[in-house]
Amino acid sequence: METRQLAAFCAVVERKSFSLAAERLGVTQPAISLQIRSLEQRLGTQLLDRSGRRVEPTEAGTRLYATAQRLLALEQQLHDELAGTDGQLTGTLELGASTGPGGTVVPVLLCEFREQHPEVRVRLSVSDTQSVVDRVADRELELGIVGAARRHRGVTFEPFFRDEVVLACPAGHRFAGRTVSVEELRSEPLLVMQEGAGVRQVIEDELRTVGLRLRDLDVRVELGLQESVRSAVAGGHGCTFISSSAIEADVAAGTIATARVRGLDPVRENFLVRSNGRAETRAMHDFVEFARGRLSA
């Protein structure tokens, strides 16, 4: 069997659609259908159930999918290693990050790594934590870096680095530079990130330790993700919980101040997210080792 047949099959399983698989691989839908038919004839069994609204793998297809993923990853790894026989690392880093690490730490690490390995191509997509986890599980991304571990059968989480979560407020705010009580916090209008954001999950978990829920606070505005709430706080429109690394420049410039809440100690563990059973490419392995070294330093 040919690797392009396996690639077409895996794309259909992951997209649950022939047309979406064709779009992903940059070919026509008839070409995808031909590859699947040829693969089924070669193996003598039906691999995909086409009877429903979505294409699903049969029992044989499910078994093939796990093995096909490993074969395709090994082929890519072999290609990268042979292409880099002159000592240079090659290949593509395609990863996703949630808005916390994706807006601060990860871009710097990727650029520093790319400077050391100029033949490596880098693609980073940034979205909320849940979206990154789902894309890694669907094997659209090789790796994810997120600010919260979400239960998902298709992925594994590995601790990567820790980041403090602080209460950010406008410069000159009554909370600025103070440790405030929970009761004071309850009386202050808050800005929050949308559901699915890692910081929001951290704060909800931390509030439970003092017998509170987010809805017990005076939440007035939900503004999407990290950059949205950071801009609103800098503009003087309220307070929010946010990663400390996301507002370092604002604090240094005096446009945002920070406060602590007595009884709350929100420290966020950022995680690597990997798809179960997926072999790691050489480029990704070297990047993770590089990043761990830089973060520990």
Residues 170 and 251 in one domain: yes
Going by C-beta distance under 8 Å and a sequence separation of 6 or more, which residues neighbour residue 2?
A: none
Residues 10 and 97 in one domain: no
The predicted-structure confidence for 219-259, as pLDDT tens digits, reads as follows 989 988 888 999 999 999 999 999 888 898 899 999 999 99
Q: What is the CATH number of the domain that holds 218?
A: 3.40.190.10
Residues 148 and 173 in one domain: no
Q: What is the CATH number of the domain that holds 53?
A: 1.10.10.10
> Can you give the residue range of the structural domain that contains 64?
3-83
The list of the chain residues with pLDDT below 50 reads: 85
pLDDT at 84: 52
Residue 97: exposure state from Cβ atoms within 10 A (0-12, 13-18, ≥19): buried
pLDDT at 86: 53
Residues 56 and 201 in one domain: no
pLDDT at 80: 63
Domain's final residue, options 57, 83, 109: 83
For the entire predicted model, the pTM comes to 0.61
pLDDT at 77: 66
Residues 111 and 175 in one domain: no
Residues 291 and 152 in one domain: yes
pLDDT at 290: 93
Domain's final residue, options 83, 101, 129: 83
Residues 191 and 150 in one domain: no
